Amino acid sequence: MATDRDRPVLNVLDLVPVVEGGDAADAVRVTVEMARAAEELGYRRYWMAEHHNMTGVASSSTAVLIAHVAASTSTIRVGAGGIMLPNHAPLVVAEQFGTLATIHGDRIDLGLGRAPGTDQLTALALRRDDRAAMDFASEVSQVLRFIGPADETARVRAVPGEGTNVPVWILGSSHGGAQVAAALGLPYSFASHFAPRMLLSALDVYRQGFHRSDRNGAIERPHTMAAVNVMVADTEAEARHLWGSTLQRFHSIVTGRRGALQPPAQGEVTTAWSPAERAAVEQMTSCSFVGTPTQVREGLHEFVRHTGVDEVIVASSAHATAARRRSLELLAQAWAA
């Protein structure tokens, strides 16, 4: 993939959807298939995100899934987009990703967020500590220390972990994550695939507040990524049809009736929605690009010019495996053209 400003690095975000008629085993099998395809097509990163208590998502044990995908590929970077740090002790995260890096070398990325990745009842079951979410920067700093240079005088050490220097990203959908990334001198990725409202202002907060740091993992200048939804097909009509599955998934989030990823419905799927539901889904999916390879490429080029991001990570949740793979294939070909 080219890395100029108009055509930055292109990555894949896999939400590991459980489709209607399938199960979690099918979802994991398809994820491996998609990761291998993304590697062949030249995508740089393949990330999966932590979610819990969602019957339509099979990525709750994110580090285990990353290990499986990394073992099934050879060159593509594999990582978390992301690990919800307040759900875990920083030492455990450092040990998990230190172990992944020990096995797979410099192919592992660690994206850290502070949202629960679930509902409040499940957060209690996870023994989530909301105090950690309030002190997110300190929690991140602990992870950086544990995976940084070995300190033989430290009373607590991550083994494996220390010395692996796993690249750390801060993820966010508001100004809070942008401020933490800027203060720690880390790269920043914005979740505009479902929460686009503060995208531009958060990028500004990050860039204006960024300063170089001597902390482990710090970078020399601001580096940004944004997530978007895509659905690419040979014709616009086909892409719009396939996009119906994603629209139904967002509608299920808005209405609190989450479940398996549905097949695309015949006709206009939004006709039975209330105006408020339709408006909410439109807002959540405003950073989405649906159509032919040329249409999506031009849309992404404009998105990059508008945001100035260095990398784009795409989520493409077609119900059929062949359609998901075809979407990634057409996009990669168009992006490189």
The CB-side HSE value for 246 (13 A sphere, CA atoms) comes to 28
Q: Are 130 and 198 in contact (CB under 8 A)?
A: no
SS3 231: strand
Query: To 10 degrees, what angle do helices 199-209 and 293-307 make?
Result: 40
pLDDT digits (tens, 9 = 90+) for 6-30: 568 999 999 999 999 999 999 999 9
Q: How far is CA 29 from CA 10, 65, 183, 217, 277, in A?
A: 23, 11, 39, 33, 33
The per-residue DSSP string of 51-97 comes to --S-TTB--SSHHHHHHHHHHT-SSSEEEEEEEEGGGS-HHHHHHHH
Q: What is the pTM of this model?
A: 0.94
The per-residue DSSP string of 239-289 comes to HHHHHHHHHHHHHHHHHT---SBPPPPSS-TTTTS-HHHHHHHHHHTSSEE
User: What gap in Å lies between CA 316 and CA 261, rounded to an integer?
Assistant: 12
pLDDT digits (tens, 9 = 90+) for 27-68: 999 999 999 999 999 999 999 999 999 999 999 999 999 999
Residue 3 has pLDDT above 50, yes or no: no
Task: Please name each of the domains of the chain with its CATH number.
Answer: 9-336 (3.20.20.30)
Q: Are 191 and 227 in contact (CB under 8 A)?
A: yes
CA quadruple 195, 200, 201, 204: dihedral sign: positive
Give the angle 39-172-201 at the CA atoms, nearest 5°: 115
Mean pLDDT lowest for which of 47-51, 123-127, 192-196? 123-127
Q: Are 194 and 281 in contact (CB under 8 A)?
A: no
Residues in CB range of 298: below 8 A, 6 or more apart? none
User: What gap in Å lies between CA 178 and CA 205, rounded to an integer?
Assistant: 6
Average pLDDT over residues 104-133: 84
* pLDDT for 48: 97
**Percentages of the chain per state (helix, strand, coil), in multiples of 5:** 45, 15, 40
pLDDT digits (tens, 9 = 90+) for 230-254: 999 999 999 999 999 999 999 999 9
Residues in CB range of 230: below 8 A, 6 or more apart? 288, 289, 290, 296, 300, 314, 315, 316, 327, 331
User: What gap in Å lies between CA 174 and CA 192, rounded to an integer?
Assistant: 10
